[in-house]
Chain A
Amino acid sequence: NAGVMQNPRHLVRRRGQEARLRCSPMKGHSHVYWYRQLPEEGLKFMVYLQKENIIDESGMPKERFSAEFPKEGPSILRIQQVVRGDSAAYFCASSLAGPNNEQFFGPGTRLTVL
Protein backbone atom coordinates (compact mmCIF):
# COMPACT_ATOMS: atom_id res chain seq x y z
CA ASN A 1 0.00 0.00 0.00
CA ALA A 2 1.68 3.14 -1.22
CA GLY A 3 1.98 6.00 1.22
CA VAL A 4 1.10 9.64 0.64
CA MET A 5 2.69 10.83 -2.58
CA GLN A 6 3.76 14.38 -3.25
CA ASN A 7 5.24 15.86 -6.38
CA PRO A 8 7.39 17.45 -7.28
CA ARG A 9 9.82 16.87 -4.41
CA HIS A 10 11.70 20.03 -5.29
CA LEU A 11 10.33 23.06 -7.11
CA VAL A 12 12.17 26.22 -8.09
CA ARG A 13 10.26 29.30 -9.19
CA ARG A 14 11.13 32.89 -9.91
CA ARG A 15 9.26 35.68 -8.17
CA GLY A 16 5.88 36.27 -9.79
CA GLN A 17 5.48 32.75 -11.20
CA GLU A 18 2.90 30.21 -10.11
CA ALA A 19 3.70 27.13 -8.04
CA ARG A 20 1.50 24.05 -8.18
CA LEU A 21 2.02 21.31 -5.61
CA ARG A 22 0.31 17.92 -5.85
CA CYS A 23 -0.67 15.41 -3.20
CA SER A 24 -2.09 11.93 -3.71
CA PRO A 25 -3.49 10.56 -0.45
CA MET A 26 -3.13 7.00 0.72
CA LYS A 27 -5.59 4.56 -0.80
CA GLY A 28 -8.94 4.80 0.95
CA HIS A 29 -8.20 8.15 2.57
CA SER A 30 -10.70 10.90 1.85
CA HIS A 31 -9.25 13.67 4.05
CA VAL A 32 -6.25 15.77 3.08
CA TYR A 33 -4.34 18.37 5.10
CA TRP A 34 -1.67 20.82 3.96
CA TYR A 35 1.04 22.16 6.28
CA ARG A 36 3.90 24.58 5.69
CA GLN A 37 7.30 24.32 7.36
CA LEU A 38 9.48 27.41 7.27
CA PRO A 39 13.24 26.89 7.85
CA GLU A 40 14.02 25.84 11.42
CA GLU A 41 10.37 26.01 12.43
CA GLY A 42 7.59 23.56 13.13
CA LEU A 43 4.81 22.77 10.74
CA LYS A 44 1.90 25.20 10.49
CA PHE A 45 -1.56 24.07 9.45
CA MET A 46 -2.84 25.62 6.25
CA VAL A 47 -5.98 23.86 5.03
CA TYR A 48 -8.10 20.74 5.51
CA LEU A 49 -10.07 19.30 2.61
CA GLN A 50 -12.38 16.45 1.85
CA LYS A 51 -13.32 15.43 -1.67
CA GLU A 52 -14.69 18.54 -3.41
CA ASN A 53 -14.98 20.45 -0.12
CA ILE A 54 -12.79 22.81 1.85
CA ILE A 55 -13.51 22.10 5.51
CA ASP A 56 -11.10 24.45 7.27
CA GLU A 57 -8.85 27.01 5.59
CA SER A 58 -8.09 29.05 8.69
CA GLY A 59 -4.33 28.72 8.14
CA MET A 60 -4.26 29.79 4.51
CA PRO A 61 -2.93 33.23 3.62
CA LYS A 62 -5.78 35.39 2.38
CA GLU A 63 -4.23 36.12 -0.99
CA ARG A 64 -2.42 34.12 -3.66
CA PHE A 65 -2.97 30.71 -2.02
CA SER A 66 -5.69 28.24 -2.95
CA ALA A 67 -6.30 24.53 -2.54
CA GLU A 68 -8.59 21.96 -4.06
CA PHE A 69 -9.28 18.25 -3.77
CA PRO A 70 -11.35 17.22 -6.77
CA LYS A 71 -13.51 14.14 -7.04
CA GLU A 72 -10.88 12.54 -9.24
CA GLY A 73 -7.15 13.13 -9.02
CA PRO A 74 -4.76 14.58 -6.49
CA SER A 75 -5.16 17.50 -4.16
CA ILE A 76 -3.52 20.67 -5.48
CA LEU A 77 -2.04 23.55 -3.49
CA ARG A 78 -1.61 26.54 -5.79
CA ILE A 79 0.47 29.61 -5.00
CA GLN A 80 0.13 32.47 -7.45
CA GLN A 81 2.72 35.22 -7.95
CA VAL A 82 5.19 33.61 -5.58
CA VAL A 83 7.46 35.74 -3.40
CA ARG A 84 10.70 34.81 -1.63
CA GLY A 85 8.83 34.41 1.67
CA ASP A 86 6.92 31.48 0.17
CA SER A 87 10.11 29.42 0.16
CA ALA A 88 9.40 26.53 2.51
CA ALA A 89 8.65 22.83 2.69
CA TYR A 90 5.00 22.02 2.07
CA PHE A 91 3.72 18.80 3.55
CA CYS A 92 0.54 16.99 2.76
CA ALA A 93 -1.10 14.49 5.10
CA SER A 94 -4.09 12.23 4.63
CA SER A 95 -6.40 10.31 6.93
CA LEU A 96 -9.45 8.14 6.92
CA ALA A 97 -12.85 9.72 7.39
CA GLY A 98 -14.06 10.33 10.92
CA PRO A 99 -12.55 12.02 13.94
CA ASN A 100 -9.30 11.10 15.67
CA ASN A 101 -7.80 9.21 12.75
CA GLU A 102 -4.03 9.28 12.35
CA GLN A 103 -2.63 11.62 9.73
CA PHE A 104 -0.01 10.07 7.46
CA PHE A 105 2.47 12.50 5.99
CA GLY A 106 4.02 12.68 2.56
CA PRO A 107 7.72 13.45 1.96
CA GLY A 108 7.01 17.09 1.22
CA THR A 109 7.67 19.52 -1.61
CA ARG A 110 10.52 21.94 -1.07
CA LEU A 111 9.73 25.20 -2.82
CA THR A 112 12.52 27.66 -3.52
CA VAL A 113 11.66 31.10 -4.86
CA LEU A 114 14.52 32.90 -6.54
Chain B
Amino acid sequence: GDSVTQMEGPVTLSEEAFLTINCTYTATGYPSLFWYVQYPGEGLQLLLKATKADDKGSNKGFEATYRKETTSFHLEKGSVQVSDSAVYFCALSPSSGGAQKLVFGQGTRLTINP
Protein backbone atom coordinates (compact mmCIF):
# COMPACT_ATOMS: atom_id res chain seq x y z
CA GLY B 1 0.00 0.00 0.00
CA ASP B 2 0.88 3.66 -0.10
CA SER B 3 3.33 4.90 2.50
CA VAL B 4 5.41 7.91 3.51
CA THR B 5 8.79 7.82 5.25
CA GLN B 6 10.24 10.86 6.96
CA MET B 7 13.61 11.63 8.36
CA GLU B 8 13.63 10.72 12.00
CA GLY B 9 13.76 13.41 14.61
CA PRO B 10 14.02 15.23 16.75
CA VAL B 11 15.92 17.89 14.87
CA THR B 12 17.49 20.78 16.78
CA LEU B 13 18.95 23.79 14.98
CA SER B 14 20.10 27.28 15.81
CA GLU B 15 18.19 30.28 14.55
CA GLU B 16 19.05 31.24 10.94
CA ALA B 17 20.35 27.74 10.14
CA PHE B 18 19.41 25.93 6.93
CA LEU B 19 16.72 23.27 7.31
CA THR B 20 16.13 20.08 5.37
CA ILE B 21 13.61 17.43 6.40
CA ASN B 22 13.68 14.42 4.10
CA CYS B 23 10.53 12.73 2.88
CA THR B 24 10.16 9.81 0.49
CA TYR B 25 7.02 8.04 -0.58
CA THR B 26 5.73 4.83 -2.10
CA ALA B 27 2.56 5.07 -4.14
CA THR B 28 0.95 3.85 -7.32
CA GLY B 29 0.13 6.40 -9.94
CA TYR B 30 0.53 10.10 -9.34
CA PRO B 31 -0.27 11.14 -5.80
CA SER B 32 -0.50 14.69 -4.51
CA LEU B 33 2.08 15.54 -1.86
CA PHE B 34 1.76 17.77 1.21
CA TRP B 35 3.63 19.14 4.17
CA TYR B 36 1.60 19.86 7.30
CA VAL B 37 2.78 21.60 10.46
CA GLN B 38 1.48 20.97 13.98
CA TYR B 39 2.16 23.52 16.71
CA PRO B 40 1.88 22.38 20.34
CA GLY B 41 -1.69 21.64 21.37
CA GLU B 42 -3.11 22.43 17.95
CA GLY B 43 -4.38 20.60 14.91
CA LEU B 44 -2.51 20.28 11.64
CA GLN B 45 -2.17 23.19 9.27
CA LEU B 46 -1.37 22.79 5.60
CA LEU B 47 2.06 24.32 4.94
CA LEU B 48 2.46 23.60 1.22
CA LYS B 49 1.53 21.14 -1.47
CA ALA B 50 2.39 19.91 -4.96
CA THR B 51 0.07 17.98 -7.22
CA LYS B 52 2.32 16.83 -10.06
CA ALA B 53 5.92 15.99 -10.83
CA ASP B 54 8.42 18.89 -10.76
CA ASP B 55 5.90 21.19 -9.05
CA LYS B 56 7.38 23.28 -6.26
CA GLY B 57 5.22 24.14 -3.29
CA SER B 58 6.22 27.15 -1.19
CA ASN B 59 4.91 29.08 1.79
CA LYS B 60 6.39 31.17 4.63
CA GLY B 61 9.92 30.62 3.31
CA PHE B 62 9.50 26.84 3.15
CA GLU B 63 9.85 24.98 -0.16
CA ALA B 64 9.49 21.42 -1.40
CA THR B 65 9.78 20.01 -4.93
CA TYR B 66 7.87 16.95 -6.14
CA ARG B 67 10.55 14.61 -7.50
CA LYS B 68 9.00 11.62 -9.17
CA GLU B 69 12.32 10.08 -10.22
CA THR B 70 13.47 9.84 -6.60
CA THR B 71 9.94 9.62 -5.10
CA SER B 72 10.85 12.45 -2.74
CA PHE B 73 9.37 15.69 -1.40
CA HIS B 74 12.04 17.14 0.90
CA LEU B 75 11.16 20.23 2.94
CA GLU B 76 13.70 23.09 2.98
CA LYS B 77 14.03 26.54 4.49
CA GLY B 78 17.01 28.77 4.10
CA SER B 79 16.92 30.49 7.50
CA VAL B 80 14.80 29.10 10.32
CA GLN B 81 13.29 31.08 13.18
CA VAL B 82 12.37 30.13 16.73
CA SER B 83 8.72 30.34 15.70
CA ASP B 84 9.27 27.45 13.25
CA SER B 85 9.56 25.04 16.18
CA ALA B 86 6.81 22.47 15.62
CA VAL B 87 6.18 18.95 14.33
CA TYR B 88 6.24 18.60 10.54
CA PHE B 89 4.35 15.88 8.69
CA CYS B 90 4.81 14.79 5.11
CA ALA B 91 1.68 13.29 3.54
CA LEU B 92 0.29 12.03 0.27
CA SER B 93 -3.16 11.78 -1.21
CA PRO B 94 -3.50 8.73 -3.45
CA SER B 95 -4.19 9.36 -7.08
CA SER B 96 -6.94 6.79 -7.32
CA GLY B 97 -10.44 8.13 -7.34
CA GLY B 98 -12.80 8.08 -4.43
CA ALA B 99 -11.92 9.11 -0.91
CA GLN B 100 -9.10 11.58 -0.65
CA LYS B 101 -7.70 10.10 2.52
CA LEU B 102 -4.28 11.31 3.49
CA VAL B 103 -1.38 8.98 4.25
CA PHE B 104 1.03 10.54 6.75
CA GLY B 105 4.65 10.04 7.68
CA GLN B 106 5.53 9.66 11.32
CA GLY B 107 6.37 13.33 11.81
CA THR B 108 9.61 15.19 12.55
CA ARG B 109 9.86 17.33 15.67
CA LEU B 110 11.86 20.51 14.99
CA THR B 111 13.26 22.72 17.73
CA ILE B 112 14.95 26.02 16.92
CA ASN B 113 17.16 27.56 19.59
CA PRO B 114 17.78 31.31 19.73
Contact = CB atoms under 8 A, between A and B. Distances in A.
A59 interface: yes
Contact of B99 (A48, A106, A108): A48
A55 interface: yes
B32 A100 contact: yes
Contacts of B46: 102-104
B100 A100 contact: yes
A43 B104 contact: yes
B89 A43 contact: yes
B101 A33 contact: yes
Q: How large is the interface on A (under 10, 10 to 19, 20 to 34, 35 or more residues)?
A: 20 to 34
Contact of B43 (A45, A99, A102, A106): A106
A48 B94 CA distance: 14
Interface in B2-56: 4, 6, 32, 36, 41-46, 49, 51
Given A105-B44, A107-B43, A108-B43, A44 B97 contact: no
B57 interface: no
A67 to B, nearest CB: 13
Interface of A: 4, 6, 33, 35, 40-45, 48, 55-56, 59, 91, 93, 95, 99-108
A42 B104 contact: yes
Given A45-B102, A56-B98, A100 B51 contact: yes
B101 A45 contact: yes
A86 B26 CA distance: 28
Nearest to B98: A56
B105 A99 contact: no
B44 A45 contact: no
18 contacts: A4-B43, A35-B102, A42-B105, A42-B106, A43-B44, A43-B89, A43-B104, A45-B101, A48-B100, A48-B101, A100-B93, A101-B100, A102-B46, A102-B49, A103-B46, A103-B100, A105-B43, A107-B42
